[in-house]
Amino acid sequence: MDKYFVASIAAAKDVGNKRIRHLLEIFGNGQTIWSADVADLKQAGLPKNAFESLVTWRQNHPDVPEQLADYCQRNGFGLCSFADEDYPPILKEISVPPIIFYYRGKLLPHVERIGIVGTRENTVYGKDIALALGSDLAAAGFTVVSGAAKGIDSFAHRGALKTGRTVAVLGQGLATRCPREKKKLLDQIVDSGGLIMSEFSLKTEPNEGTFITRNRIIAGLCRGVVVVEAGEKSGALNTGSWAIDNNRDVFVIPGSIYWEKSAGCNKLIYEGAKLIRNARDILSEYNIDVSAVSKETSPTVELSDVESKILALIPQGDFITDDEILDAVDDVAPHELPQIMIELEIKGCIVEDAGRYTRKFGG
């Protein structure tokens, strides 16, 4: 029950992890803090804003710990505190570990985890890589950790769901509303034996600050973090920074130097992050058997001479149009091209998007 007192203290404005840890060192446990005299709390040395916030919060909501425990029990939310045996040991190593976090699903504290993060506005190239990395790393025994955001995060989770386990760290409370597709993904993660978690109070709405705060947990849970696609101002770079600061490995998928969505990735590589091409590179880095994963190449397909000629023109990570293809190939009539492109898509070589084409990852 004491952790519900700690969680109730954490819900007070301006009382964060470091200040709660300071109070616990003085008072011993959450229940004693919650019931302490105002004079004793004042002697604890909290900043004025934190002290006044906590005192006001307790006075206005005296039954919060009991109400919180009841709410969690009725709605299937778990609560884990720093003092619990099932708190992930690796998370305790970071500079500011969460004092408590809420969760749904299976809390497996000792599994090996790896993070996969990237931009919300991904390309087809990024999508295919995130799916492949998630699937292959999960197949090799890693629990894949990401933030369940639109884009690379979601594709990493979906890839992992095909072959193994995944954890979503949210930048909002677990009881807040979210888009239908995201809710469906989170339910799939829980139903498959994975975990969703958040250090924020259950009904905390997401904002830029909460996403930045949760990034340290993604990095902290993991042995290493893979940045798949990230512009120079991407939040994924913040996760990479947390990983570096807390002695985690940082792996990066490279992209074109002319491509904005890879600018952040290429910068990380320039600054010393480990360039990788696929999951096998990560597994080799950790001396893990790579036989469980694919070589991430397309199956052999039969192509005609003209199909091979056109495929050679199609970039990976960028797009080409019908007109650009026709300008480059002399022996294809305009009316013949649509059927050729359909055949290439059926054979798994390309992806079509609004009349433009890109090479499928591994194709």
For residue 184, name the pLDDT band (cuts at 50, 70, 90). very high
Common-topology check for domains 113-292 and 305-359: no
Q: Please tell me which residue, 296 or 249, carries the higher pLDDT value.
A: 249
Burial class for 291, CB neighbours closer than 10 Å (0-12, 13-18, 19+) = exposed
Domain residue ranges of the chain, discontinuous segments joined by + = 2-74, 113-292, 305-359
Judged against a pLDDT cut of 50, whether residue 299 lies above it is answered with no
* pLDDT at res. 72: 95
**Strands (E) located in the chain:** 78-81, 100-105, 113-117, 143-146, 166-169, 195-198, 224-227, 249-252, 274-275, 320-321, 350-353, 356-359
Percent of the chain residues topping a pLDDT of 70: 96
Judged against a pLDDT cut of 60, whether residue 294 lies above it is answered with no
Looking at the DSSP assignment, which residues form a beta bridge with residue 79? 102
* pLDDT at res. 361: 62
* pLDDT at res. 348: 75
For residue 196, name the pLDDT band (cuts at 50, 70, 90). very high
Q: Please tell me which residue, 155 or 358, carries the higher pLDDT value.
A: 155
Tell me if residue 88 falls in helix, strand or coil: coil
Tell me if residue 356 falls in helix, strand or coil: strand
* pLDDT at res. 296: 45
The stretch 243-249 carries a mean pLDDT of 91
CA angle 144, 150, 154 (to 5 degrees): 25
Check if the beta carbon of residue 34 is closer than 8 Å to that of residue 73: no
**Which range, 52-56, 156-160, 318-322, 333-337, is most confident?**
156-160
* pLDDT at res. 292: 63
* pLDDT at res. 121: 86
Tell me if residue 309 falls in helix, strand or coil: helix
| CATH number 3.40.50.300 is the correct assignment for the domain at 305-359 | no
Low-confidence winner among 111-115, 156-160, 291-295 (lowest mean pLDDT):
291-295
* pLDDT at res. 301: 65
Model confidence pLDDT, tens digit, residues 112-149? 999 999 999 888 888 889 999 999 999 999 999 999 99
- Tell me the residue length of the chain: 363
For residue 189, name the pLDDT band (cuts at 50, 70, 90). very high
For residue 94, name the pLDDT band (cuts at 50, 70, 90). very high
Low-confidence winner among 58-67, 174-183, 295-304 (lowest mean pLDDT):
295-304
Average pLDDT, the chain: 89
Judged against a pLDDT cut of 90, whether residue 290 lies above it is answered with no
Judged against a pLDDT cut of 80, whether residue 277 lies above it is answered with yes
For residue 219, name the pLDDT band (cuts at 50, 70, 90). very high
The CA dihedral of 27, 33, 38, 39, to the nearest 10 degrees, is 0
* pLDDT at res. 127: 87
**What CA–CA distance (Å, rounded) separates 296 from 88?**
32
Judged against a pLDDT cut of 60, whether residue 270 lies above it is answered with yes
The stretch 183-208 carries a mean pLDDT of 94
Tokens of 216: 């340290």
| CATH number 3.20.20.150 is the correct assignment for the domain at 113-292 | no
**What CA–CA distance (Å, rounded) separates 143 from 159?**
11
* pLDDT at res. 65: 92
Of 319, 309, 311, 313, which Cα lies nearest the Cα of 256? Answer: 319
* pLDDT at res. 362: 54
Check if the beta carbon of residue 292 is closer than 8 Å to that of residue 135: no
State which amino acid sits at residue 334.
P
Judged against a pLDDT cut of 60, whether residue 80 lies above it is answered with yes
